[in-house]
Amino acid sequence: MAFTPEKPPIYGETLESLSTHLKARGEPAFRARQILTWLYKKRATTPAQMTDLSKPLRDWLEQTFDFAPASLVLCKKAGDVTDKLLLEMRDGSLVECVIIRAPQEGVGEEHSRKTLCISTQVGCAYGCKFCASGLAGWKRDLSAGEIVSEMMHVCRVEDAASPERAAEGLASFDNLVVMGMGEPLANYDNVLKALTILNAPWGLGFGARRITLSTSGVAPNILRLAQEPLGLRLAISLHGATDEVRSRIMPVNRKYPLAELLSAAKAFAQTHGRMLTLEYILIEDVNDTFDQARALADIARDLHAHVNLIPYNTVEGLEWKRPGSNRRERFAAILRDAGVSFTLRREKGHDIDAACGQLRLKTERERAQNNPDISSL
């Protein structure tokens, strides 16, 4: 289902496309860069704030582009390390993004490392059995402008905590993971455009090495991504180390089985010379057997990949459980003994991986209860 907004979001414009619009109006060549500086470096949210532009140009910007394609509905703290932001798009669609804080040793809390996790679609068609985002199915892709708008919302929310960075026009987060609601490689062009805007010197100038794109395994588009000059990091949501287990919880595996996925992942790693990450949510009696651990170790060694073990977080409406701590430790020990680089999450509050999409679902259900008309949006 496509959504055509009344006006295109300004955040979807590149230096080139905005220059073309402005040239057609007879504006000088430097004007596009001037507007983008207001938008990204000075965090202007309306043309009225762009005080060194003429009134007619500000009026034209206002009439031509949407400066608020997303609005903040709520900001919710989950424990002391995670904030969830719920944003509403122009068509009423709800989208989540998450800020995860990881304190750095020896420095104050204000210097904790912040990772932003963004969504790329409204809902998700991929139907992974453990995921809240897939529960209500796919509604639509987000446009590049909407995705950039998500990031700018977070920048503005976090600017107060990082005034030095804000004053320099830098992003107020340290890392970006494209790991929220949606399969980013199923919305390839919009996601790549949004990340290009984020990375561009006239955008937020955010380094591509600090961006990790996570896919459930759309193998052909991993190969396509390998050819992009942007140089992102790649994470594969593996969650099963054999076809039998993976197909049980991730329908995408029936279309792109492990052999095809791992061959594409290897091609990506070889092209970019970067270590891949394999995300593995540990689910009791599903993928936490020691045979799975051994098969996972073989895959990780073959790909020279780092494994991120994430104990499952309960999702309302789903039956899966987190394995006990002994089981988790023994699973991890098999990776350790095999010489695999891995991380086993122990902290509380890191509940985005399996739980992304829950806030949106809950809010949509509440809205539908209060106003049945909304459920059809």
Closest CB to ligand SF4 among residues 127, 207: 127
CB 279 within 8 A of CB 214: yes
Closest CB to ligand SF4 among residues 126, 173: 126
Among 39, 85, 95, 128, binds ligand SF4 (CB under 6 A): 128
CB 213 within 8 A of CB 178: yes
Report, in Å, the least distance between residue 376 CB and ligand SF4: 22
Q: Give the helix/strand (H/E) hosting 267.
A: helix 258-272
Closest CB to ligand SF4 among residues 172, 215: 215
Q: Which of 203, 138, 179 lies closest to 310, judged by CA?
A: 179
Segment contacting ligand SF4 (CB under 6 A): 120-128, 192-200, 293-301, 365-373?
A: 120-128
Q: Is 183 in the site for ligand SF4 (CB under 6 A)?
A: yes
Closest CB to ligand SF4 among residues 179, 204: 179
Q: Which of 345, 236, 254 lies closest to 300, judged by CA?
A: 236
Q: Is 127 in the site for ligand SF4 (CB under 6 A)?
A: yes
Q: Name the burial class of residue 269, with classes exposed (0-12), middle (13-18) and buried (19+) by CB atoms within 10 angstroms of its CB.
A: middle
Q: Is 133 in the site for ligand SF4 (CB under 6 A)?
A: yes
Q: Is 10 in the site for ligand SF4 (CB under 6 A)?
A: no
- How many residues lie near ligand SF4 (CB under 6 A)? 12
- Main-chain phi, psi angles of 222, to 5 degrees: -70, -40
Measured distance CA(249)–CA(253) in Å, rounded: 9
Measured distance CA(353)–CA(278) in Å, rounded: 13
Q: Is 124 in the site for ligand SF4 (CB under 6 A)?
A: yes
> Using the 8-state DSSP alphabet, how is residue 41 labeled?
I
Residue 99 forms beta bridges with which residues? 83, 116
Strand-strand pairing, 82-89 and 94-102? antiparallel
Report, in Å, the least distance between residue 293 CB and ligand SF4: 21
Terminal-residue alpha carbon distance, the chain: 11
Q: Is 216 in the site for ligand SF4 (CB under 6 A)?
A: yes
Q: Is 184 in the site for ligand SF4 (CB under 6 A)?
A: no
**Which among 96, 150, 158, 279 is annotated as catalytic?**
96
CB 286 within 8 A of CB 312: no
Measured distance CA(115)–CA(235) in Å, rounded: 15
Q: Is 351 in the site for ligand SF4 (CB under 6 A)?
A: no
Respond yes or no: is residue 356 known to be catalytic.
Answer: yes
Closest CB to ligand SF4 among residues 183, 364: 183
Strand-strand pairing, 82-89 and 70-78? antiparallel
Segment contacting ligand SF4 (CB under 6 A): 16-24, 181-189, 269-277, 315-323?
A: 181-189
Q: Is 358 in the site for ligand SF4 (CB under 6 A)?
A: no
Report, in Å, the least distance between residue 184 CB and ligand SF4: 9
Q: Is 145 in the site for ligand SF4 (CB under 6 A)?
A: no
Q: Active-site residues: which are they?
A: 96, 356
* Residues in touch with ligand SF4 (CB under 6 A): 124, 126-128, 131, 133-134, 181-183, 216, 237
